[in-house]
Amino acid sequence: MSILKQFVQQSRHQGSFSGAAYAIGNSSGIIEQGAVGTLSWDGLSVESDSLWDLASVTKPIAILPLMVMLEKGECYLDDVIAHFLPEYKDTDKANITLRQLLTHSSGIPGQQPLYQTSPTKQELMAAVRDLPLRYAPGTDVEYTSQGYMILGDIIEAIAGSSLDIVLQQMVLDPIGLHQTMFNPPENLLPRIAATEYCEWRHAVVKGEVHDENAVVLGGAAGHAGLFSTVGDMSLLCQAMLRLGETAQGRFLQPETVRLMTRNETSSMKLARGLGWQAKDRHDSPAGDLFSLSSYGHTGFTGTSIWMDPEADLFAVLLTNRVHPTRANQTIKRIRSIFHNLAVLSIGNSVRKQGEANADC
């Protein structure tokens, strides 16, 4: 058993999650993948095609249509919210830019349980508009799902279509992510990992998005809602490491991928790219060995993807660490150690391959 699988298995035995799927690799493909545990503590075994609630790993994927639109000349990063959404014209958010929304530097507060007082999509988005800014836009970084809800609306306004359809046509189909979706159909329930027992829904959540605000928004939003497999997330990572090239052709131009993935907030307290989380010098979920040019994203449910263009490697770890309760906080340490072991495992694999080639 590899050191990676041993570590993930050990984490499961310690109760950190009921199941996990992982993969590591580079721009050429997957080097190692595995599945551990069960989809719930008393459920079916995790398989390579098991589906996971990505939670906030949705964010960098859901805004990819905006990068396609940028390449088409339909927007640019200093466009403001009110240009696309007239309902924001007379609010304190009217002149917040796409760049500020994408980098979490908009000043819009995060961690807002708006679902508790806003039971419909219209009411919830009105509540987002009414949130008082925490600070002047462009002066600080605060992680905010609410800003990404607005980005979802902007994408729909530009495309004239719903976010799920836009994402399918502009991102999922071109990259070949055929197992990535909002609102998975009922027939896929046996393949989906359970998440939390939800007091609001009075049930263990399975097959419906875990994020309560996303539930009110219909399960498809800019901040959460996607379900996917370890294979699809590996394909996404490979496309990013190839600077937009996929098996089906070019998805984004190299300049756009570089733009998305550089640290836009180096003068602020947290490192953020456009949709992507850059690597902070301290306390990064990427661990110790990924380079400072690496980037990725994490999800509240226990998911993460991380890429390092400098070393040409990626790591995907999908778990249900909130099952059956979000009180379990061990995922933070697990991610960092997993990423350290991923870097070392890929390095060893490359060295062994080089030695084998030298012996030929």
For 96-114, what is each residue's pLDDT tens digit? 999 999 999 999 999 999 9
Per domain, the residue ranges of the chain are: 3-359
Give, in order, the Cα–Cα distances in Å from 141 to each of 15, 34, 109, 243, 269.
33, 35, 10, 27, 7
pLDDT at 360: 60
Q: How many CA atoms lie within 13 A of 247 on its CB side?
A: 13
Report how far residue 180's alpha carbon sits from residue 51's, in angstroms, rounded to the nearest whole number.
8
pLDDT at 57: 99
Rounded to 10°, the helix 145-159/121-130 angle is 120
Report how far residue 328's alpha carbon sits from residue 330's, in angstroms, rounded to the nearest whole number.
6
Class (C level, CATH) for 3-359: alpha beta
pLDDT reading at 348 higher than 90? no
Tell me the residue length of the chain. 360
Report how far residue 287's alpha carbon sits from residue 151's, in angstroms, rounded to the nearest whole number.
29
pLDDT at 350: 62
pLDDT tens-digit readout, 21-42? 999 999 999 999 999 999 999 9
Tell me what percent of the residues of the chain surpass a pLDDT of 90.
96
Q: How many CA atoms lie within 13 A of 358 on its CB side?
A: 6
Model confidence band, residue 347 (pLDDT cutoffs 50, 70, 90): confident
Average pLDDT of the segment spanning 351-359 = 65
- Name every residue whose Cβ is closer than 8 Å to that of residue 198 and which is 6 or more positions away in sequence: 204, 205, 210, 212
pLDDT tens-digit readout, 248-297? 999 999 999 999 999 999 999 999 999 999 999 999 999 999 999 999 99
For residue 203, the cross-strand partners are 198
Farthest-apart Cα atoms in the chain, separation: 70
For residue 330, the cross-strand partners are none
Report how far residue 306's alpha carbon sits from residue 189's, in angstroms, rounded to the nearest whole number.
27
* Sheet strands (E) in 161-284: 181-182, 197-198, 203-204, 226-228, 245-246, 249-250, 277-278
Cα angle 220, 286, 279 (rounded to 5 degrees) comes to 85
Mean pLDDT of the residues in the chain = 96
Structure tokens at 69: 């639109």
State whether the Cα torsion 224-226-227-229 is positive or negative: negative
pLDDT tens-digit readout, 145-174? 999 999 999 999 999 999 999 999 999 999
Report how far residue 301's alpha carbon sits from residue 196's, in angstroms, rounded to the nearest whole number.
8
Residue with tokens 């301290």: 282
